[in-house]
Each structure stands twice: as structure tokens, then as C-alpha cells.
Chain A
């Protein structure tokens, strides 16, 4: 009897195995854009990758806001369009548009060597006589590395209190290994210097320069570098895993602010997205268009070229202009298609996983916005 039982228990288990193989994971097709966005974004929350995710979309001129997860792990409190987060490297496309604006106004020339704008004590490296220009800084082809070697790579925030003098020391001691303008290498050094150059040219600091050039003309009143009491009131806690982490931005000095120090809310980012998509006429329309123009072709993840700060990518006939960002505690993404007039902003209050998660989300949402057109 026992032998009979064991034998048939084995049969049952093997049959169960066969049933497993035969089962399919049915991917439910969404019926509405709201459902599609929920299907794309919510898995990042329920499967532990992120704490809270804010999504803002623009489609046919209509802005829609979605909030997933929590403002602080365990709080049950939702983020809103007024919640303030670090936008991290999205800052670079503000720096780039400020540069484009100054180019169009004749205040600088994209092909000017950067040594023209920095103090004489700074010796900018060149390669076989070829000099680094403003354009090279803006499209990440200067030859400078991702981050300066004299920053503390083991620190949680390698830019904490990284000073102007430290950056100049790094530049003075750096030797280019290739000619500028020949190879793409994402560089926070380049954007730090670019922010510094634009500040010096405007005889101000980075925050005042970006406020005067971009934030005020677009009426973006909740974007800043300073952690003012008003901003602090709505500041959302950043997380790494389930740990609450310290902001990077408030410790970034002027020399690196152009690379990733802005804090903002979703309402303001949707204003910037709207303006970049050309849905509203602004004094910056031409500068924004210039920043979307291909300046260097190269292949990368979701990338086949770079404008000024923006990544450019053509997929399935759709031309997407986008940028992402990631600081300790925060991730961000902005992407749009000017032809279909669809765009998305994503702000995330956690950074355990890299900005590629926000980028993946962004591209999936852009696809869904077009599918539900």
C-alpha cells in the first residue's frame, strides 16, 4: 500500500510540474491611459524598488498628475505636484538652455574656448592644439571624466563641499587623452565648469543666473538651489532603500551646481516640459529649440545623439528628446516627443536603483501616451 502511495505521489508531483510549464503569464492589456500608467509604474513600488514616484504627463496640451507610493517610507502620505524633490542631473538641461540663450543673444559663442571665460590661474588642457569649447562641455565631448579624481569617491556625496579651488586644481592637473569633440563621455566636471562659466559671465552665482535666465521668464516659482523655508515646507525625504538619506544638493557649491543641484516640484517641471515641447511661446523657445538640435552623434542606451544637454533618440519613428538624473535619495526623468505633443516628467524620492529605472518608466509611458492617442 505504501509503495503504491509513494509511486503515485511522484506521479502527482510530476503532473504538477507539467501543469506549471503549460501555464502562461497573461499580460493584461490596459483599457485606459490611467490603467496603462498604473501598470507601468506601480510594480516599482509594490516590488520594492522605489518609495514614491510622481508622474506628470502632457498629452494634447492636457496635464495629468499621478502619485504612487509614499512621501516617506511607512508614512502612507502621498507626494503631490507641490512636493519638492531634487531633480539631480535634470539641472544640466537648465544649464544647457541658459547657454543656448546666451549664444542666441550674442553673449557667448558655442565654439569659444572655455579658457576665455575662466580665471587666468586655471590652465585648461588641450589636445594637440585642439581646445575645449563651450559646445564640448554642453554635449559631453570635452574629454573631461564623469567626476573629478580629487573628489572623495568613497563618500556618500562626493560633491559635498567640493570647492572651486578643488575643481581648478583638478583641471590644472588633468591631461586630455583625446581631442575634444571626438568622443562622448558623460561629465559632471564639464557641466560644473559650464555652470561656473555662465555664472561668471553673468557676474552672479549659478542660482541667480538660472533664476534670471530661465525660472523667472517661465514663472517657475518653486525651483531653486536654496533650501528656503518655503521649499523646506514641501521638501520630500529622499531614500536609499528604506533608509532616509541626506540631501546632496544643499552641500553642492557653485562650481558643481550646474551639474545637478536644482530642487523643484512637479508643477514647475511640467511648465519646463511644456515650454520645451513648444506648447507655450516663451522668450526661451528659440534657445530650447537650439538645445534640442543634434550636436554629436553617438550610440548609447536610448540614445543616438546629444543636443545641448539633452539626449536624442529615434525609435519606431518617434523622435524622443530626454534627460534623466540621479542624486543620493532622488531620481528624475523628463522626455517628450514634439511631433505627437506627448511628454512625461518623473520624480522619484528614492535612489537605491539607478536612474535607468526612471528612464525605462519614462519611455514606457511615452509609448503608452502615443498608443492611447
Chain B
């Protein structure tokens, strides 16, 4: 724990001393969220079928994030999000709300252009804040005892980034996410994972070089 913190501090210092390469901004992700199971129906395939039994629910994630460009086309990023996820059906919704920290490694085409192509992936850590099953009448039951507090997964985002002002950027990306550890806390053989397909990741960022110039 001590070593990890020390590495974290060192990284943040190295990030801090090169402010002109830093962007900070808001994140908003409307997302189709469901559960993926280790066996059986596949939400990715079912999504393409008209008569899919899967029930995707549209929920959102929101928060803010930092991006650091160590070289021109490569970026490292970290977000802090409050993400509403879960699955189930309209008659029985499972709501799992998380505090999430995705760590990103990304690539974007030349920053000199107004419109840039961008692609990124990484690791996303999730901490369960609340877990409830809600029926159609609005009655809900706490299910935190059955759901793991911590989960992790792989996010993926691909899209375009627009330069809208000297230092402002708007990014819109297709966002996909899947957990890699089962959500089930009390039954380890039951493989069930949070799954987002698709999501729309919208970022509004400001490049902090403006502060350097002011100095």
C-alpha cells in the first residue's frame, strides 16, 4: 500500500510539472447497461437481434477527468465517475451504482487539426456505493450482501475529438465496458459481469496551457 501510494505521488508530481500538456474536463456517458453471463445468452449478439431476450437499460455515468499528453499523439488519462449501472428488466430492475476510476491510455491523430480521431482503452476500477433491486411498484431491496464491493474491467472508447476554441475540446466516443470479475459475492461459480454496450462518452476538456501563458 505504501509503495503504491509513493508511486502515485511520484506520477502525480511528474504530471504536475508539465501543466501545458494537461487537460481537465467534464465527463458524461449515457450508457446501455446490462449483465453479461459466463454462460448462455450473449448481450453483444442479442443486441443485434430484433427478438433479443436481453433488456438493456439506459443509465448514465458522470464526473470529471484529467488527461496528460506525454508525447503529441499519446495520452494518459484518469476519470472519477459516478456511474449508474446494473441490469434486469422493467418489472425487476437491478441498480448498481458505482464510484469508478478508469485509467486510460489513448492515441489521437494530429492535434493541429480541428477534428481528430481518438481511440483509448485501459483499466477501470469500480467501488459499489449502492445495490438495490426495484420492482415495478417502486419497492426496493438492498442486495449489497450479494454483490462484490470492488470490481474491475476493461473500458474501450473510439470516436472523434473537436477543437472548439483555442483551448477547449469536445470529444464524442463510442464507449464499451465489461467487468472481468464476477459480481456475485456469495456464489463464486456464478459468472455475472457488468456490461455496457453501447455508451456515448462525451468529454469537454480545457487544455491548461492557458495558465502557463498567463504566468
* Residue positions of A touching B, CB distance < 8 A: 2-3, 6-7, 9-11, 13-18, 20-28, 30, 39-44, 46-49, 70, 73-74, 76, 240-243, 352-354, 356-357, 360, 363-364
**B: number of interface residues (CB 8 Å):** 63
CA distance A213 to B97 in the complex (A): 55
Whether the pair B12, A11 counts as a contact (CB closer than 8 A) is yes
Q: Are B91 and A242 in contact (CB under 8 A)?
A: yes
Instruction: Return A53 CB to nearest CB of chain B, in Å.
Output: 12
Contacting residue for A10 out of B5, B66, B94, B125, CB 8 A: B66
Q: Name which residue of chain A comes closest to B24, CB basis.
A: A6
Instruction: Tell whether A48 pairs with B22 under 8 Å between CB atoms, given A13-B66, A25-B185.
Output: no
Is B135 a contact partner of A76 (Cβ separation < 8 A)?
yes
Cβ contacts under 8 Å, B183 to chain A: 43, 47
Docked-complex contact B135 and A74, CB < 8 angstroms: yes
A2 in contact with B211 given A15-B5, A18-B4, A43-B187 (CB within 8 Å):
yes
Contacts of A48 in B (CB 8 A): 34-35, 87-89, 92, 94, 192
B135 adjacent to A353 (CB under 8 Å): no
- The binding surface of chain B is classed by DSSP as mixed
Flag the segment in B36-44, B106-114, B160-168, B197-205 that touches A. B36-44
Scoring B residues 194 to 215 as 1 if CB is less than 8 Å from chain A, else 0, what string do you get?
0000000000000010010000
Judge whether B16 and A7 touch: CB under 8 Å.
yes
Residues of chain B within 8 A (CB-CB) of A76 are 135
Contacts of A353 on B, CB cut-off 8 Å?
A: 37, 39-41
Given A27-B185, A74-B135, A357-B39, verify A43-B192 contact (CB < 8 Å).
yes
Assuming the A-B contacts A47-B87, A241-B55, are A364 and B80 also in contact, with contact meaning beta carbons closer than 8 angstroms in the complex?
no
* B15 near A44: Cβ-Cβ < 8 Å: no
- A24 proximity list for chain B (CB < 8 A): 150
Which of chain A's residues have a CB closer than 8 A to the CB of B141?
Answer: 46
Measured between alpha carbons, how far is A97 from B34 in the docked complex, in Å? 42
- Docked pose: A353 CA to B183 CA in angstroms: 17
Which B residues contact A (CB, under 8 angstroms)?
1, 4-5, 8-9, 11-13, 15-16, 19, 22, 24, 34-35, 37, 39-41, 52-55, 66, 78, 80, 87-92, 94, 99, 101, 103, 125-127, 133, 135-136, 141, 143, 145-150, 152, 181, 183-190, 192, 208, 211
- In the bound complex, do residue B94 and residue A46 qualify as a contact, i.e. CB atoms below 8 Å apart? yes
Question: Whole-angstrom distance from the CB of A6 to the nearest CB of chain B?
Answer: 6
Query: Which residues of A are found within 8 Å of B19, using beta-carbon distances?
Result: 3, 6
Nearest opposing residue in chain A for B192, CB measure: A47
| Alpha-carbon distance between A74 and B127 when the two chains are bound, in angstroms | 29
Collect the chain A residues with CB atoms within 8 Å of residue B143's CB.
Answer: 46
| CA of A363 to CA of B188, assembled, Å | 13
Residues from chain B with a CB closer than 8 A to the CB of A242 are: 53, 55, 89-92
Structural contact, A16 and B101, CB atoms closer than 8 A: yes
Q: Give the complex CA separation of A363 and B190 in angstroms.
A: 12
Name which residue of chain B comes closest to A43, CB basis.
B184
- Bound Cα distance A23, B41 (Å): 31
Question: Which residues of B have CB within 8 Å of A9?
Answer: 66
Residues on B with C-beta less than 8 A from A356 are: 39-40
* CB closest chain-A residue, reference B132: A46
Q: Which residues of A contact B66 (CB under 8 A)?
A: 6, 9-10, 13
B125 touches A360 (CB 8 A): no
Considering the chains assembled together, what is the distance between the CA atoms of A43 and B127 in angstroms? 18
- A17-B125 CB under 8 A given contacts A10-B12, A74-B135: yes
B101 touches A241 (CB 8 A): no
CA distance A49 to B146 in the complex (A): 14
Give the residues in chain A near B190, CB-CB below 8 Å: 43-44, 47, 49, 357, 360
Q: Are A22 and B41 in contact (CB under 8 A)?
A: no
Give Cα A42–Cα B183 distance, bound, in whole angstroms: 13
What residues on B are CB-neighbors of A10 within 8 Å?
A: 12, 15-16, 66, 78
- Which residues in B have their C-beta under 8 angstroms from that of A14? 8-9, 11-12, 78
Q: Is there contact, CB below 8 Å, between B40 and A352? A: yes
